């Protein structure tokens, strides 16, 4: 009888586990599982890419429809006011900013309170400025009315920034603009907008788009000589600012 019975039992256990009747845990099974995971996540990435591609095509067709509207329609083609076309436009453009059909409008913030939001707003500004097109930048941190306007148009109380409208049609946020820019589709959408001079810079407001109110000098109060008291200035916003008339008209 062996003096090391513990080791004998251990050997007996290992010998029974190595019998061909039982399936041991082999290393190549682990490799196969990792490979299946890689195939799974690869299929997920391809699915995301296809979804983004469809979204880009829909956005491009949205702006191309306005260019094709000048072409005469044959008798076999449906009219622009047909139900099928109206359903498509309502499906992909549920939000419209009236009165801005001739411009690019971007709702953003210049505050650095939330770093990701500020970086997204700045990235969209740089992309659009790279095309040298004039952009109607509406800073919600400088004027509360712009935030309320955006909430009213999108029908939501909490709206992420930035948000872009082109020719009065809602496009999306930073991810959509960046994807359109990388695919080269943004350049097609921005065709037809007048170009600014290289290095354009507004000396009046310093490209801030706002200046202090001339009526109250930014104090938001004016003196009424008839009543002999101070009254609220009706020409500026809650910060005593007005839009720069040299670069926002």
- DSSP annotation of 131 reads T
Confidence of residue 100 (pLDDT cuts 50, 70, 90): very high
Q: Which two tokens stand for residue 15?
A: 């010998």
Q: Are strands 241-243 and 210-212 parallel, antiparallel or unpaired?
A: antiparallel
8 Å CB contact between 236 and 169: no
The per-residue DSSP string of 143-168 comes to -HHHHHHHHHHHT-SS--S-EEEETT
Place of tokens 């037809």: 192
3-state helix, strand, coil in the chain (%, to 5): 45, 15, 45
* pLDDT at residue 59 tops 50: yes
Tens of pLDDT, residue by residue over 29-46, are 444 444 544 554 455 555
Query: Per-residue pLDDT averaged across 1-21, rounded?
Result: 47
Q: Which two tokens stand for residue 34?
A: 């990792």
8 Å CB contact between 174 and 182: no
pLDDT of residue 38: 54
Residue whose C-alpha is closest to residue 109's, from 143, 140, 130, 77: 140
Cα 207 from chain centroid (whole Å): 22
Per cent of the chain over pLDDT 90 is 48
8 Å CB contact between 212 and 235: no
- DSSP annotation of 179 reads H
Confidence of residue 78 (pLDDT cuts 50, 70, 90): very low
Residue 172's SS3 state is strand
Q: Are strands 104-108 and 163-166 parallel, antiparallel or unpaired?
A: antiparallel
* pLDDT at residue 28 tops 50: no
pLDDT of residue 249: 64
Tens of pLDDT, residue by residue over 133-153, are 999 999 999 999 999 999 999
| CB neighbour class for 149 (10 Å; exposed up to 12, middle 13-18, buried from 19) | middle
Containing 84, the helix (H) or strand (E) segment is helix 83-92
Residue 117's SS3 state is helix
Query: Per-residue pLDDT averaged across 11-19, rounded?
Result: 45
Tens of pLDDT, residue by residue over 183-213, are 999 999 999 999 988 888 888 898 889 999 9
> How far apart are the C-alpha atoms of 172 and 162, rounded to whole Å?
8
* pLDDT at residue 154 tops 60: yes
Containing 39, the helix (H) or strand (E) segment is helix 27-68
pLDDT of residue 111: 92
* pLDDT at residue 63 tops 70: no
């Amino acid at each position: 009888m062996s003096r090391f019975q513990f080791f004998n039992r251990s050997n007996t256990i290992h010998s029974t586990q190595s019998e061909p009747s039982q399936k041991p845990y082999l290393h190549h099974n682990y490799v196969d599982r990792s490979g299946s995971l890689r195939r799974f996540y690869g299929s997920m990435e391809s699915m995301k890419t296809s979804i983004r591609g469809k979204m880009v095509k829909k956005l491009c067709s949205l702006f191309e429809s306005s260019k094709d509207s000048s072409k005469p329609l044959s008798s076999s083609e449906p009219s622009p006011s047909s139900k099928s076309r109206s359903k498509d436009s309502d499906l992909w453009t549920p939000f419209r900013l009236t009165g801005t059909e001739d411009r690019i409008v971007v709702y953003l913030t210049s505050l650095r309170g939330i770093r990701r939001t500020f970086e997204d707003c700045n990235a969209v500004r740089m992309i659009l400025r790279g095309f040298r097109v004039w952009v109607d930048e509406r800073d919600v941190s400088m004027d509360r009315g712009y935030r309320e306007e955006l909430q009213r148009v999108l029908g939501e109380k909490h709206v992420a920034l930035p948000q872009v409208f082109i020719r009065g049609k809602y496009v999306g946020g930073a991810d959509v603009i960046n994807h359109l820019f990388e695919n080269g589709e943004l350049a097609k959408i921005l065709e037809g907008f007048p170009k600014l001079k290289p290095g354009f810079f507004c000396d009046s407001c310093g490209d801030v788009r706002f200046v202090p109110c001339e009526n109250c000098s930014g104090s938001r109060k004016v003196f009424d000589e008839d009543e002999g008291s101070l009254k609220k200035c009706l020409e500026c916003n809650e910060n005593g600012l007005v839009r720069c008339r040299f670069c926002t008209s």
